[in-house]
Chain A
C-alpha cells in the first residue's frame, strides 16, 4: 500500500480568497478536475446540468452544490474538499468573496496553513482582495500564494505580470504578510495549474500545485510552553478527571503544574485515555486528553494548566486587534460575552484606538466611536474577571478570542498587549452613556470646530452668529471664546510662548469635555502656532472627538482697520506686548478643513459656508429643525 502514503500525513489546508468573480471557484474546480479528484457521476452531473440549461460548462459547478449558487453563479458558504497531489493531501477551503459572507470567509480561513489569493489579472486588486488580505494578516496566516488568474485576458504579457506582481508585493508588504509566490495562470484554460503553459515561457517559477507542494504544514506547537485549558471535569466513576486538549507544549505524568488564573498548584498523577491500555505517560500539543491529579483540588472549566516556570499572562485589561462581524456595531461600554480558550467572561470595550478602512487600508479619521460590521480595529477592552492568556505572537490558541452578542459570535480578535488595570476614573471611556446614545438624545453628533485667525479677522462675530443659528436649527452649540478664557480659566497665564501653549491646551481640553457631553463646540481663538493647533486636534481626536480647523483669514491691514477690541491700538501704544501679527508671528494653517476669506466675502456668505460645512457633519435627525420651529427667535437677525 505504498501509494497510500499521503493518507497518513497531516492534511495541508489551503484557503482560497479574493474578490467576487475573480475566479476562485473556477480555479478550485479546475484543480479538482486536473488532479482527477472529482467522482465520475459528479463530473457527469455538472456537464449534464450545463447542457440542459444551455450554458457553457464551468469548472465552478464541480464545487458549487447549492441550488442558489448555480443559478446565481456565486458561492454561498464555506466549502471544503480534499484532493491529493504529489506526496501531499490537501484540503481546499473555498471562502466566498461576497461582502455579506465575510463571516464564512473567516470561518474557513482560520484553519488554513496557506492562503491562495486569487486576482483577476484583467481587473487587478479589488476591494475584497484587500479586505481578505487584511483578514489573513489578522488571522496569522503565514504563507501566501498569489494566483494571477485569467492571465489569458491580458495576453500573457510579461509587462502586465510585472505591474501586477509589484502591486501585490506592495499590498502584502503593507499588511506585513509574506508573499511566497506570484503565479500567472488561467483556471479556465488550465495553464500553470499543473502544467506550464507555452504562452508563459517567460515565467520561470513553479506552476500552482508544484508551488503548494513545497510549502510548509503548520506544526503543532510542541516546543512552546504548556497550555492545557480545562474543558470539563468528569466524575463518571471514582476518578475525578480534568479533560481538555493540550494546545501547546507537552504534559507528563509527575509534572508539577499550576492553574491560571486561580494560581492553584498540583501534580499530575496519571493520564487516562480509553481504552485504558492506550493511556500514555506523556501527551503533546494537539492531543485531547484527561488527567488525574495527585491531590484533589477544586478547579473548573476555564482554567489553563501550565508549568510554573512559564505561566500565561493573567489580566483584565487588554490591547487587541479585532474584526467585527456583528450586525450591530461594536459599541464602547456595551457588554459582550467573551471567550478565550475555554474561559468565558463579560468584556467591555473601553476605547477604540484605530479603525482601519478595508478599502484603502488607511485609518478612519476621526477615530469612530463604534466599529461597524466588516471593519477591523484596535481597541482596549476589560473583562469582568481575570483572564489567563498569551500574546498572540507567543501562543496562537491562547492569544485569540471572540466577542459574542446574544450567543452569536460578533467578532474575533488577537491579543497584542496585556495592560495593567487602571482605576475606572483614569479610563477615557468612563461614561456609561455612549456618544451614540448622546447623539440620539440630542439629535446631532458632537464635534469641535476650531476657528483660528488674527484678532479682527471675524472669529468672534462669526462664532457668535453661528452658535445662534445652530441653536435655532436644533443643534446645541457653544462658543469657547479667547477673551472669556483669558478672563477665567486662564487668568493665571501670560502671553509668552509657554503660556500661550498652555492656554490652548486648556481650551482644547475644555472643548473636548464639552464635545464629549454631546455639544457642538466652536472655539474662537487666535491660536497662532501650528504646533499648538495640532496639539489641540490630537487632544480631541485621541478621544474620538470630531475636530475641524477653520481658518478665518483677513489681511493684517484690514484687521487693524476693523480693530473691534481696540487691541491693535493698545498694542501700538505698547500696552500689549507680543501682539500677534505685529511683534509676534501668526502661522497660517497649512492644511485647514475650511478657509474663510472675510475681507472678500460678506458675513452672510461666510456663515452659509460654515453651516454647509458643519451641519452635515453633525446632523443625524432632519426633523429636529421642524420640531423646534417654535424656538425660532423672531428677533434673530438671520
Chain B
C-alpha cells in the first residue's frame, strides 16, 4: 500500500473505534485544510454519513471567506453544525486590541470549547491536530484523555499500542480522538489533490501572498508565495525551510507558548 492509502486507512480505523467507544461524540471543525480532510475521512469511515455533530468554535475573528465556506460546506456535506461563541468573554471586552494573543486564544477558543463541553456533555471529541505541526503535538496519542478542566496530563499519558484503544475516560472529562496525528502537511495536500477535497480559497496565492495555516485574522499572517494551485503548493512545501505555523502569532508569543496553551486544554 502507498503512504496515503495507509494514512487514510488508519484514520478511518480510528474514526470507527471512536464511534464505537463513545456514546456522545462530536467533531471539531475550523474550516481549514486539515478540518476538511477530517470531514472527508469521516464520510469515508461511515460510508457517506457523518454520524455526529460538527462543532465550530467561532472566535468572531474569522475571515469572511471562511464563514462563507462554512455555510457552503454544511449544505454540501449535510451535517449537523453547532457554532459556539464565548459570549461572556466578548462582553467582558476580551479582544486582540486590548489583550495579548495567548489570552485571547485561550478565552475565545479554549474557554469557548469548555463551555460547549459543559453544555453538550460530549465524552469524545474528534480533532484534526497533526504531530508535525508542533513539537508538543508530536507527543500526542490517538486517544488522549482530558480531565474536567480539559487539562492534558502529558507526563502521565496512558500507553497506546497495536491499535488497541481503550477509552480511558477521566471523571467528567473527555477523550480527544485524533485521526490525523500521523499525517504531515505535505500528506494533507497530496491527499486533497488526490481526492479533490474542497478547501477555502485563502490557501491559494493572491498578490504574491497566501495563507499556509489559518486562524483568527488579526494574528494570522500570510506567507510570501506564488503558489496558486495545489500542485504549486506541494512543490513549494517540498522546498520550504520555514514551519507551517510560523504565521500563527499565539504559538510564538512567548517561549513554550504552545505547551502552556495545550496543557490548559488548547488543541
Chain A residues with CB under 8 Å of chain B are 1, 3-4, 7-11, 36, 39-42, 49, 63-68, 76-82, 89, 91, 103-104, 106-107, 109-111, 220, 231-232, 234, 236-237, 239, 241, 243-245, 272-276, 284, 286-288, 290, 301, 325, 337, 339-340, 397, 400-402, 404, 407-409, 412
User: In the complex, which residues of chain A have a beta carbon less than 8 angstroms from the beta carbon of B160?
Assistant: 107, 409
**Contacts A107-B159, A286-B9 hold; do A40 and B2 have CB atoms under 8 A apart?**
no
User: In the complex, which residues of chain B have a beta carbon less than 8 angstroms from the beta carbon of A36?
Assistant: 241
Q: How many A-B residue pairs have CB under 8 A?
A: 174
Give the CA-CA distance A409 to B255 in the complex, in Å.
34
Shortest beta-carbon distance from B133 to chain A in Å:
11
Shortest beta-carbon distance from A285 to chain B in Å:
8
**Contacts A220-B1, A276-B48 hold; do A66 and B139 have CB atoms under 8 A apart?**
yes
Contact yes or no, A273 B44, CB < 8 A: yes
User: In the complex, which residues of chain A have a beta carbon less than 8 angstroms from the beta carbon of B47?
Assistant: 234, 236, 239, 241, 243, 272-274, 290
Residue of A nearest to B16 (CB): A231
User: In the complex, which residues of chain A have a beta carbon less than 8 angstroms from the beta carbon of B164?
Assistant: 339-340, 401-402, 409
Contact yes or no, B158 A288, CB < 8 A: no
Task: Pick out which of these stretches binds chain A: B97-105, B166-174, B199-207.
Answer: B166-174
User: In the complex, which residues of chain B have a beta carbon less than 8 angstroms from the beta carbon of A272?
Assistant: 47
8 smallest CB-CB distances across A and B, nearest first, come from A65-B135, A39-B243, A103-B159, A288-B12, A110-B161, A77-B139, A236-B49, A274-B48
Within 8 A of A (CB), among B198-255: 231, 234-235, 238, 240-243, 246, 255
Give the CA-CA distance A67 to B240 in the complex, in Å.
27
Contact yes or no, A42 B243, CB < 8 A: yes
* Residue B184 CB within 8 A of the other chain: yes
22 pairs from A and B in contact (CB 8 Å cutoff) = A9-B2, A41-B246, A65-B259, A79-B135, A80-B138, A91-B182, A106-B159, A107-B160, A236-B46, A272-B47, A274-B43, A274-B48, A286-B6, A286-B9, A288-B8, A288-B45, A337-B166, A340-B164, A402-B161, A402-B164, A407-B168, A409-B158
**Contacts A10-B3, A106-B159, A272-B47 hold; do A231 and B20 have CB atoms under 8 A apart?**
yes
User: In the complex, which residues of chain A have a beta carbon less than 8 angstroms from the beta carbon of B154?
Assistant: 66, 76-77
* Residue B61 CB within 8 A of the other chain: no
Give the CA-CA distance A106 to B162 in the complex, in Å.
10
Residue of B nearest to A91 (CB): B182
**Contacts A39-B241, A41-B243 hold; do A79 and B256 have CB atoms under 8 A apart?**
no
User: In the complex, which residues of chain A have a beta carbon less than 8 angstroms from the beta carbon of B131?
Assistant: 80-81
- Which of B1, B43, B139 meets A287, CB within 8 Å? B1
Within 8 A of A (CB), among B120-157: 131-132, 134-136, 138-139, 141, 154-155, 157
Shortest beta-carbon distance from B248 to chain A in Å:
12
* Residue B51 CB within 8 A of the other chain: yes
- Beyond A109-B161, A244-B16, 5 additional contacts (C-beta under 8 Å) are A1-B234, A8-B3, A10-B1, A79-B138, A288-B44
Contact yes or no, A287 B141, CB < 8 A: no
User: In the complex, which residues of chain A have a beta carbon less than 8 angstroms from the beta carbon of B3?
Assistant: 7-11, 89
Contact yes or no, B2 A10, CB < 8 A: yes
Contact yes or no, A49 B255, CB < 8 A: yes
* Residue B190 CB within 8 A of the other chain: yes
Identify the interface centre among B159, B184, B240: most chain A CB within 10 Å of its CB: B159
Shortest beta-carbon distance from A512 to chain B in Å:
37
Contact yes or no, B17 A40, CB < 8 A: no
Chain A interface, >50% SS class: mixed
Shortest beta-carbon distance from A49 to chain B in Å:
7
Contact yes or no, B159 A288, CB < 8 A: no
Residue of B nearest to A42 (CB): B243
**Contacts A4-B234, A65-B259 hold; do A76 and B44 have CB atoms under 8 A apart?**
no
Give the CA-CA distance A513 to B44 in the complex, in Å.
60
Give the CA-CA distance A503 to B235 in the complex, in Å.
84
- Which of A1, A104, A106 meets B235, CB within 8 Å? A1
Give the CA-CA distance A625 to B32 in the complex, in Å.
70
* Residue B19 CB within 8 A of the other chain: yes
Contact yes or no, A107 B141, CB < 8 A: yes
Give the CA-CA distance A66 to B158 in the complex, in Å.
18
- Which of B139, B187, B190, B234 meets A78, CB within 8 Å? B139
Contact yes or no, A4 B238, CB < 8 A: yes
* Residue B119 CB within 8 A of the other chain: no
Contact yes or no, A274 B44, CB < 8 A: yes
* Residue B75 CB within 8 A of the other chain: no
Contact yes or no, B161 A40, CB < 8 A: no
User: In the complex, which residues of chain A have a beta carbon less than 8 angstroms from the beta carbon of B241?
Assistant: 36, 39-40
* Residue B89 CB within 8 A of the other chain: no
- Which of B20, B43, B155 meets A232, CB within 8 Å? B20
Give the CA-CA distance A82 to B188 in the complex, in Å.
14
Contact yes or no, A104 B157, CB < 8 A: yes
User: In the complex, which residues of chain A have a beta carbon less than 8 angstroms from the beta carbon of B5?
Assistant: 286-287
User: In the complex, which residues of chain B have a beta carbon less than 8 angstroms from the beta carbon of A63?
Assistant: 135
* Residue B13 CB within 8 A of the other chain: yes
* Residue B186 CB within 8 A of the other chain: yes
Contact yes or no, B161 A288, CB < 8 A: no
Contact yes or no, A41 B242, CB < 8 A: yes
User: In the complex, which residues of chain A have a beta carbon less than 8 angstroms from the beta carbon of B9?
Assistant: 245, 286-288
Give the CA-CA distance A274 to B42 in the complex, in Å.
10
Contact yes or no, A288 B1, CB < 8 A: no
Give the CA-CA distance A66 to B43 in the complex, in Å.
35
Contact yes or no, B157 A65, CB < 8 A: no
Contact yes or no, B243 A7, CB < 8 A: no
